[in-house]
Structure 1
Amino acid sequence: MFITSQFDSGNIEVVKAEDASDIRLRIRKDAESDFFQWFHFKLYSEAERAHRLTIEGVDTAAYPDGWKDYRAMASYDREHWFRVDTTFDGKNLIIEHTPEQETVFYAYFVPYSYERHLDLLQAAQQSSWVEQRVLGQTLDGRDMTLLQIGEPAEGKKKIWVTARQHPGESMAEWFIEGLLHRLLDEDDGVARLLLDKAVFYVVPNMNPDGSVRGHLRTNAKGVNLNREWQTPSMEKSPEVYLVREEMVRIGVDMYLDIHGDEAIPYNFVAGCEGNPSYDQRLQGLEGDFKQALLNATPEFQVTHGYELDAPGQANLTVAAANVGETFNCLSFTVEMPFKDNNDIANPATGWSDVRSQQFGYDTLAAVLAVADKLR
């Protein structure tokens, strides 16, 4: 029996693994950072034998509340993922599972590999509507890639979507995959209408270095990119610097930044009510978008989410707030759960890659509902 995480987005440290009933593990921290919560590893062992895997010291993880009612994900083929029995004893995370096969992968959420990311970019490029552009390189030398979807023309809105500033929030790139699947479907009426009205600028992965390294929240330098939008730099946060420079060059009429939340078991959005320039027009747009998303999918709700910022008290280092303020536009952080959507719970899978894709697909209907009102 042994355990490995020597692969794309792998993260675990083995304390001991001699006895299937008492496997002890620890999560490796993000490089140059104290953040940790993402895990992803492979177990080689005996099929049909009960295993107890204890991940030690998770009470000091980035979001300890995230472990309450959380269940780990597992897969035999890395394509179909399911939940397994998991408990949090206040200090350790305990996974109890009897594998049906001799090898099994476990992860905090369904991984989205760098290879799949590259495949997504190339698949999108097959559409005549898509131009793929490299804005520059990350600290580890990976491409920062932008997909321009639609033909720019006078009067067309400029809609930006970024995902996975926090690399462990892999549901965000699954969301993008679903969004692109619909947006690039020539037979989809929502897509055709949207591309008549707007050009989309999509960054499927804002943090490829952190994604490959198995980080939860930071890039190769241990920097939280979603606190870099006021003063990004090529030395610390080239990912944000390059994307923000392109936003300034092109302009922004609407922005969605896609994330996952460790603790809250619902889908929700966070707006810009705390921005200095927030006004009645933006408030109305926010309300229209939320109502349209409620109409588009039962997976969305507005009861649960973050506390509202007081007027003028927004954190302008955060992407959605900064972009909303800079461009005086409709701007949201979109959050999905690591656990489940408790409004429509699915005990077998919880919130999943498939549901994330569908949420991205459905969100385009809400974008269409507000497209004509953006300016």
Structure 2
Amino acid sequence: MIGRIPMLVILVASLGLWNPSPILAKEVAETSPKCETRAVKLDTNFPTGNIKSCVTSGKKRLNITLAPEDAPPINCSAWYAFRLTALKPTRVTVNLDYEACGHRYWPKISTDGVTWTNLKKKWVKIEEVDGRKRARLSIKLGNKPLFVAGQEIFPPSKYKLWLNHAAKSPDARQWLLGKSAEYRDIPAMTIKSAEATPREQVVLVGRQHPPEVTGALAMLPFVETLLEDTPLARKYRARFETIIVPMLNPDGVVHGHWRHNTGGVDLNRDWGPFTQPETRLMDGLLRKIAQNPDQKLRLLLDFHSTQKDVFYTIPDEFPTNPPLFIRDWLKRYQERMPDYDVNRDARHSPDRPISKAHAFETYGVPAVTFELGDETDRGLIARIGRESAVAMMETLLATSAPE
């Protein structure tokens, strides 16, 4: 079993307060590819649902074609999400064929959008044709509709639920950063002591890329750790203000895009040009901090997913303020995770319009792309989120306050 996500969602679900219907209804009017036999039907009428097309072959075989929202794909984040409904319990075959990149995400299944499990290996056949991987899935269907997706479905409604819960803390305030191109909310939250006015700001951003769910699964426990009622967290909140933008690309999330927003742009290739409404909001946020003489940006963390756990960082020889924070943070984090190898890739390309490079080049601060593996154990991801947050607070509190 993968595990349930996030823990707060599961708590609410277990109390009978969670109605999954907001997750299962598309938030924009769309036409789902029609694919139906006398035994089973397929649809994508829910947030993150996306395939290009589907054709049937007999009563129990569906052939799905998957394609990126824009070509050529800048990154092979080959997303898919669909729902299968059987007229009666049966087993069906689903073929996943890709116009680009090939199969990447191991199929995951759920009947409620909350609890997810990996489809067992014996029911998945991966083969390579003309240098591109495709997948054949054998799926047992019961009386309930079954969701099949590349990663757990994590739509805007789950962020809203989580933010509403977190904002009950007296040290948290939920607010709206702005609207996306399709006028969806881009939520934000500020964490700081209710009795203090911190001068130092830490900015966390997530979900620039729609399928990168494991980054979100680390970000949530990371933030929850900052809100804990511990001496360390209270001391941190008294000195630092943390601004969280957990889902910068809600349009891409809802549409089930592989990489882009609805403007056909990879948002993490638009920091500098700022051609898109979503990245312009982040530019405005960072500028506002920089222009306030009573505030000082100290760190930017950008949560993502890739094939492995890795921190993409600024090299230590590049001066940042605070100095050598990344080195000291990751050293402390490794000490807290002795049974886990912290993987760091330190590089900098000043011409790349990504969040990490822009924050360093423009504001001189440490900036990190925090990557989680696509298939990293979900329990380990939660631990990574917690322990890296503790190490971050300890390391930041050990730095000198700005004059």
The TM-score range, normalised by the shorter chain, is 0.7 to 0.9
Give deviations 1:226-269, integer Å, cap 9, x for gaps: 01111203xxx1111111211121142011100001xx2x3210
Indicate the residue corresponding to 1:143 in structure 2.
Answer: 185
Q: 2:315 aligns with which of 273, 285, 293?
A: 273
Partner of 1:216: 258
Q: 2:72 matched to 1:42? A: no
TM-score under structure 1 length normalisation: 0.82
Q: Which residue of 94, 97, 117 maps to 1:53?
A: 94
Give the 5 Å matches for 1:347-366: 351-352=377-378, 355-366=380-391
User: 2: distance between equivalents of 1:358 and 1:47?
Assistant: 41
Contact 2:41-2:85 within 8 A present in 1 as well: yes
Q: Equivalent residue for 2:170?
A: 128
Residue number in structure 2 paired with 1:71: 106
The ranges of structure 1 where at least 4 consecutive aligned residues each deviate by more than 4 angstroms after the TM superposition are 31-36, 151-156, 280-283
Unpaired segments ≥5 residues, structure 1: 341-350
Q: Compared with structure 1, are the counterparts of its residues 280 and 358 closer, same or farther at alpha carbon in structure 2 (3 Å cutoff)?
A: closer
SS in 1 for 2:173: strand
- Amino acid across the alignment from 1:161: L
Q: Does 1:320 align with 2:356?
A: yes
Shift in Å, 1:48: 5.7
- TM-fit CA distance, 1:334: 0.5
Amino acid at match of 2:208: Q
- CA shift, 1:292, in A, is 1.8
C-alpha distance in 2, partners of 1:18/1:93?
A: 16
Please name the residue that 2:333 is paired with. 293
Q: TM-score, normalised by structure 2?
A: 0.77
Deviations 1:284-316 (A, max 9, x none): 32221112222333685334x65x53xx63444
Cα distance change of structure 1 residues 45 and 162 upon mapping to structure 2, 3 Å threshold: same
Question: Aligned in 2, Cα 1:33/1:4: closer, same or farther, shift over 3 Å?
Answer: farther
Which of 282, 294, 303 aligns to 1:258? It is 303
- The CA RMSD over aligned residues, in Å, is 2.8
Secondary structure of 2:361 counterpart:
helix
1:112·1:174 contact (CA, 8 Å) conserved in 2?
Answer: no
Give the letter for the 1:328 counterpart: G
The structure having more radius of gyration, on CA atoms, is 2
Where relative contact order (Cα < 8 A, 6+ residues apart) is larger, the structure is 1
CA contact (8 A) 1:292 1:365 kept: no
State which of 207, 210, 226 in structure 2 corresponds to 1:183: 226
Change beyond 3 A, Cα 1:226–1:97: same
- SS of residue in 1 equivalent to 2:115: coil
> Are residues 102 and 75 of structure 1, via their aligned partners in 2, closer, same or farther at CA, if it must alter by over 3 Å?
same
Provide closer, same or farther for how the CA distance between residues 177 and 133 of structure 1 changes in structure 2, counting only shifts above 3 A. Answer: same
TM-superposed CA distance for 1:18, in Å, is 4.7
Judge which range, 277-286 or 80-89, deviates more.
Answer: 277-286
Matches within 5 A, 1:83-94: 83-84=118-119, 85=121, 86-90=124-128, 91=132, 92-94=134-136
Contact 2:236 2:393 in 1 (8 A): yes
In the TM superposition, what whole-angstrom CA distance separates every residue of 1:133-172 from its partner, at most 9, and x where no partner exists?
A: 3232211011222211104957643111100111111222
Q: CA deviation at 1:104?
A: 1.1
* Alignment-derived partner of residue 335 in structure 1: 371
1:107 aligns with 149
Q: Distance in 2 between matches of 1:43 and 1:169?
A: 23
Does the CA contact (< 8 Å) of 1:2 and 1:17 recur in 2? no
Q: Which of these residues, 209, 216, 226, is aligned with residue 166 of structure 1?
A: 209
